[in-house]
Amino acid sequence: MKKLALVTVLIVGALSLMAANDAKTLTAKCAGCHGADFGKKALGVSKVVKGMKAEEIAKALKGYKAGTFGGAMKGVMKGQIAGYSDKQIEIVAKYIAGLK
Ligand code: HEC
C-alpha cells in the first residue's frame, strides 16, 4: 500500500508540473536570459520585456510559438514557448506586465 501511495504522489506531482499555471513557475526558466525581473536584453538582442504591455508580450509569445514573429534569434524563443498553451501565455504576459 505504501508503494501505491508513493506512485500516486509522483503521478500527481508530474501532472501538476505539466499543467503548471502559476506565473512564477512558468517564468522561472526565462530569468537566465531576460533577468529575474525581465529588465535585461536577452542575449544582448531582445527588447527589454519589462515595461511592455501584457497584450504586446502575449502577441510576441504567440507569434514566436506560431513562427510568425521575431528577429534573427526567434528560434531561441520558439523553443522556449512551444510547450505553452495560449492560456499559459496569457498568464505569463499579465505577470510580466505587472512586475515592478
Ligand atoms: C535562451 C535565452 C532565452 C530564454 C530562456 C527566454 N528568452 Fe525570450 N528572448 C530571447 C531572445 C534572444 C529574444 C529575441 C529573439 C528575436 O526575436 O530575435 C527574446 C525575445 C523575447 C520577447 C520579445 C521581446 C522583443 O524583442 O520583442 C519576449 C516577450 C520574451 N522573449 C519572453 C520570454 C519569456 C516569457 C521566457 C520564458 C518563458 C523567455 N523569453 C525565455 C532569449 C530567451
48 in any annotated domain: yes
Measuring CA to CA, which residue among 48, 47, 62 is closest to residue 93? Answer: 62
86 in any annotated domain: yes
pTM score, two decimals?
Answer: 0.87
Who's near 80: CB < 8 A, 6+ residues apart? 29, 30, 64
Cα–Cα dist 63/77, whole Å: 10
90 Cα: distance to centroid of ligand 1 (angstroms) = 15
- Ligand 1 contact via 83 beta carbon (within 6 Å): no
Number of domains in the chain: 1
63 Cα: distance to centroid of ligand 1 (angstroms) = 11
Q: What is the CATH number of the domain that holds 66?
A: 1.10.760.10
Q: What is the mean pLDDT of residues 55-75?
A: 98
Pocket of ligand 1, candidates 29, 48, 49: which has the most ligand atoms within 8 Å of its Cβ, to mutate? 49
- Ligand 1 contact via 57 beta carbon (within 6 Å): yes
CA dihedral 54, 48, 81, 65 (to 10 degrees): 80
Does the pLDDT at position 49 exceed 70? yes
3 in any annotated domain: no
Residue whose C-alpha cell reads 527588447 in the numeric block? 47
81: domain range?
21-97
Q: What is the pLDDT of residue 95?
A: 97
